[in-house]
Structure 1
Amino acid sequence: MKMLKLLLLFVILGLGVVTTVMYSGIVDVAADEPHSDFVYWILEETRENSIKKAAENIEVPDLDVPDLLLTGGSDYEFMCSSCHLAPGQTESDMSLGLYPAPPNLTIAAESHKGHEHGDGAQNDRKNFWVIKHGIKASGMPAWGKTHDDQRIWAMVAFIKRLPTLTPEQYQVLTAVD
């Protein structure tokens, strides 16, 4: 019984602290002020583990179909490049203004934080899930509300090739007829 009272006291104190923080306004939510290292680590780990778990059973189709690059390329140019950049670009108004900063997809996925481990299929599954479902409070929209799975896989196929493209190749693959 004493243990139950102690537990109840901790729960009440915890709720009091949470309520105080919520209503005091002391948490800075400005996108131009980064989180503390500890908060950033918690958010990154939570996001990465959530995506990994949600994407683990997704079946990856053949992403080497040439038509996927053309479809995915035009979609990437219009929907993604302002945040995730194009070959030869190092920043944009959008990439500079978002926090957390969107990954630069023109460089190999293995070099992005949180993507160091896992095979290509795992990265493909994770990219598909992120494109389809988006990420809350990050600026990443859920494109699955407006695009079917085939178009999303086309974007995944394009993103997979993106780090190997020159600016000229990118122009050709993203040109619209």
Structure 2
Amino acid sequence: MSWLKTVLPTRALHWVGAGVVFAVAGIFGAILFVWSGVYNIAAIDPHVPAVNWLITVAKVNSIDRHSNDVPARPPLDQPAQVQRGAVQFDMECGACHGTPAAPQTGLLRNMRPRPPKLSEVVDRHTSKELFWIVKHGIKYTGMPGWPAPERDDEVWSMVTFLEQIQDMKPDAYRQLANTDPERPPAGAPDGLQTCARCHGYDGHGKGKGAYPILSIQEKEYLSRSLQAYADDHRHSGTMGPIASGLSDKQMDRLATWYANQPSDDLPDDTSPASELVMRGKKIAEKGLPDQDVEACISCHVRAKGRRFDIVFPNLEGQYANYIADQLLAWKTRGRGRTREGQLMKPMSDISHNLSNQEIRAVAAYFATAK
């Protein structure tokens, strides 16, 4: 430290030396404190104020800083987002945070930290902050990250639902989340009641475009989709955990059930403008060569067709909102890498070359092409 003597007076050197000693002593004392086990980590006792303050400040500032990098909200259908978010919230989040129809249980009072009642705190955060929390989770709180972090559209669905939870009445919540589904019909396969919360027993998806119509698809496509979800080749924070708990036999029986449901009495979708349909028809049948977009019907042929020994999903009669939201998911490369999606030109590339308005047009055309 001889060089310091040339730039600092003796008194200043004494202060520097004392500072170093105190810093080393502080670090050593902190290590000794942690090593001793003196601090009580029992969940039944709250943190002392200083520790609680430190944890809270670190959490708030971390969320504020990292949420600045969250991209803008995509143009997804809002009513469909709310419904998807409500079901997922009821299945995964309500047990800890409570719901508009079921308050938190007394057991949660002894958790440290106690899960917040979201209807009371959600307005403290911006949309981007809510997105970051839902997607990434928070360490040491029991708050997990989203099971499929690739699916930003699913995270936004949860955020959109949370933004409406404050004023949501119990009955409205029960209807959105379908908390009390009807009893399964005779001959229903195991697990169908769980599927019916979103897809219904008839596979019509409850008529709002939040979920796809399954009854227009082939059994093989439905079975392969379930397997892709289970293997995480197709990403979904909703379908992945459900499919991974199914055996091959259960997947086969559920796929058979939905593929055999009648599809001649499908619910009416919102009637789009005719010019939008015609624009979508042109893209679907001829593509957009200047934008490197192939014709949709090159693979999605009529009447549950197949090509190259691969079963592609039938899009005719599917909800416009659902088609558009899935194309947007492809566009952000969140859907995964299934064999069907990579066979010819990858769907992620095709969707990326379409504008959002062109996506809406294609979706409107197929929804009306029953």
Query: Does the TM-score normalized on the shorter chain lie above 0.5?
Result: yes
Encode CA deviations 1:40-65: one digit per residue, 9 max, x unaligned.
12211111111011102322335761
The answer to whether residue 153 in structure 2 is matched with residue 141 in structure 1 is no
**Cα deviation, residue 84, structure 1:** 1.1
**Cα deviation, residue 93, structure 1:** 5.1
Distance verdict in 2 for CA 1:138–1:108, change over 3 Å: closer
Which structure is higher in RCO with an 8 Å CA cutoff and minimum separation 6?
Answer: 1
**Cα deviation, residue 143, structure 1:** 1.3
Alpha-carbon contact 2:137-2:146 (below 8 Å) kept = yes
The answer to whether residue 22 in structure 2 is matched with residue 26 in structure 1 is no
Alignment-derived partner of residue 89 in structure 2: 76
**Cα deviation, residue 172, structure 1:** 1.0
In terms of fraction of residues, the more helix-rich structure is: 1
**Cα distance in 2 for residues equivalent to 1:62 and 1:94:** 40
**Cα distance in 1 for residues equivalent to 2:38 and 2:121:** 38
Which one has the largest radius of gyration?
2
Encode CA deviations 1:77-97: one digit per residue, 9 max, x unaligned.
111101111114332256324
Instruction: Provide the aligned length of Structure 1 versus Structure 2.
Output: 167
Matches within 5 A, 1:144-159: 145=148, 148-159=151-162
Distance verdict in 2 for CA 1:147–1:28, change over 3 Å: farther
Where do 5+ consecutive residues of structure 1 fail to align? 116-121
Alpha-carbon contact 2:96-2:115 (below 8 Å) kept = yes
Alpha-carbon contact 1:83-1:94 (below 8 Å) kept = no
Alignment-derived partner of residue 17 in structure 1: 29
Of residues 112, 126, 141 in structure 2, which corresponds to 1:99? 112
**Cα distance in 2 for residues equivalent to 1:39 and 1:79:** 29
Where do 5+ consecutive residues of structure 2 fail to align? 1-12, 179-196, 201-370
**Cα distance in 2 for residues equivalent to 1:109 and 1:76:** 14
Of residues 6-15 and 23-32 in structure 1, the stretch that sits farther from structure 2 once superposed is 6-15
Identity of aligned residues (%): 27
Distance verdict in 2 for CA 1:51–1:2, change over 3 Å: same
Of residues 25, 37, 44 in structure 1, which corresponds to 2:56? 44
4+ aligned runs moved over 3 Å, structure 1: 1-4, 61-64, 144-147
Alignment-derived partner of residue 269 in structure 2: none
Distance verdict in 2 for CA 1:73–1:83, change over 3 Å: same
Amino acid paired to 1:124: S
Distance verdict in 2 for CA 1:42–1:64, change over 3 Å: farther
Distance verdict in 2 for CA 1:147–1:34, change over 3 Å: farther
